[in-house]
Structure 1
Amino acid sequence: MPHSCSTSGNGYCGVQRSESSTRKSAWELSLSSIKTTNMKRFASTILYTLLLSAIVCACSDDLDIKQDYRFSVETLPLPKSLQKGETVALEFSIVREGHYEGTAYKFRYFQSEGTGTLTDSKGKSIPMNRFQPIASDDFVLIYTNMAEEQAQLDFVFEDNFGKRMEYTLTFTGKRTDEGLK
């Protein structure tokens, strides 16, 4: 039997393409395009949602500002010993790890050994075991030794957030030639 080829205008022998198969291809292309568009919309919706969440969280009134920084206390070099009646200026510095404008400091002291008087730089007597406000990070106290032997001052520094620091100063007594006779 002779083989006959009908081309029906498509140029291919034996292969007949129907319009429905061509439409199916176009339908698949259209479906693929819709899926890609939907994925892009979904991804952009997720991105916008995340961005909006970040903005809302950033605009919270509960802003956390660190206020209570650690601190230390230092003095300029001091003599190791003091004679009875000798006066020394105690030059203190509060050294902050960070600076918060609302931080306030205070101190108190106790003389655990010896006797003496402590005054501020204006000559006002400072009572023992009573907190005194500190106006500046650098301040001066005047100590007059009244002990023959050792004198020890124990300071407690505190900020308005409850952080404390203890600082001790010790002076040995100097004997004068009069005291040795």
Structure 2
Amino acid sequence: MKNMLTKIKRACALIIWLAAIMLLACACSGNLDIVQDYEFKVTHLPVPKKIKKGETIEIRCQLEQAGYYKDTGYVMRYFQTGGRGLLRMGNSEPFLPNDLYELKEDTFRLYYTSQSEEQAVIDIYFFSSEGNSFMLSFSFNNDNSEEEQP
């Protein structure tokens, strides 16, 4: 009888152990959901609405991410759809339209210099290495007012 009780206890322990292993196997799957693709936007401080030919304005920008993944990179490109002008970052050479430029910091400054006396329109597209994008559009009217003479 004692031997039979020992066998029953061992069988119950084995069944409990197998049930625990099956529960763990079902709870764990090989499909881990690691998020790498976060939405983002680029915000900026207010900029002038009018600009004179030859004048340069500063556009202070901030890249804001909905989440952070350390290997995500960001690039930008721009198009000038109206007027003529130059866009650059910091002391860099002026950007070429439709070329990609890497964003190395989350906070950056762009500088636009008008080269025409007509309305200027620039569209700036930002892309993450994960495939998300964001666009900023700026429209500057020509400021042809005369400066006051002293």
- The interval holding the TM-score normalised by the smaller chain is 0.7 to 0.9
**What is the rounded CA distance, in whole Å, between the counterparts of 1:176 and 1:81 in structure 2?**
10
1:10 corresponds in structure 2 to none
2:93 corresponds in structure 1 to 124
The answer as to 2:139 corresponding to 1:167 is: no
* Matched AA of 1:165: F
2:16 corresponds in structure 1 to 44
Gaps of 5+ in 2: none
**What is the rounded CA distance, in whole Å, between the counterparts of 1:147 and 1:156 in structure 2?**
23
* Matched AA of 1:170: S
* Matched AA of 1:171: F
* Matched AA of 1:131: L
Identity %: 32
Q: How many residues align?
A: 144
Q: Give the conservation status (yes or no) of the 8 Å contact 1:149–1:174.
A: no
SS in 1 for 2:43: strand
State the shift of 1:163 in Å: 1.0
Gaps of 5+ in 1: 1-32
State the shift of 1:40 in Å: 5.5
The answer as to 2:18 corresponding to 1:53 is: no
Q: Deviation per CA, 1:30-64: give whole Å up to 9, x if none.
A: xxx9xx97996586246413344157x26x4x533
Tell me which of the two structures has the higher relative contact order, counting C-alpha pairs closer than 8 angstroms and 6 or more residues apart.
Answer: 2
TM-score of the aligned structures, taking structure 1 as reference length: 0.68
**What is the rounded CA distance, in whole Å, between the counterparts of 1:172 and 1:50 in structure 2?**
70
State the shift of 1:123 in Å: 3.6
* Matched AA of 1:85: G
**What is the rounded CA distance, in whole Å, between the counterparts of 1:171 and 1:40 in structure 2?**
80
* Matched AA of 1:142: Y
2:66 corresponds in structure 1 to 97
* Matched AA of 1:174: D
The answer as to 2:52 corresponding to 1:83 is: yes
* Matched AA of 1:66: V
| Larger of the two Rg values belongs to structure | 1
Matches within 5 A, 1:7-86: 44-45=16-17, 47-53=19-25, 57=28, 60=30, 63-86=32-55
TM-score of the aligned structures, taking structure 2 as reference length: 0.81
**What is the rounded CA distance, in whole Å, between the counterparts of 1:82 and 1:125 in structure 2?**
18
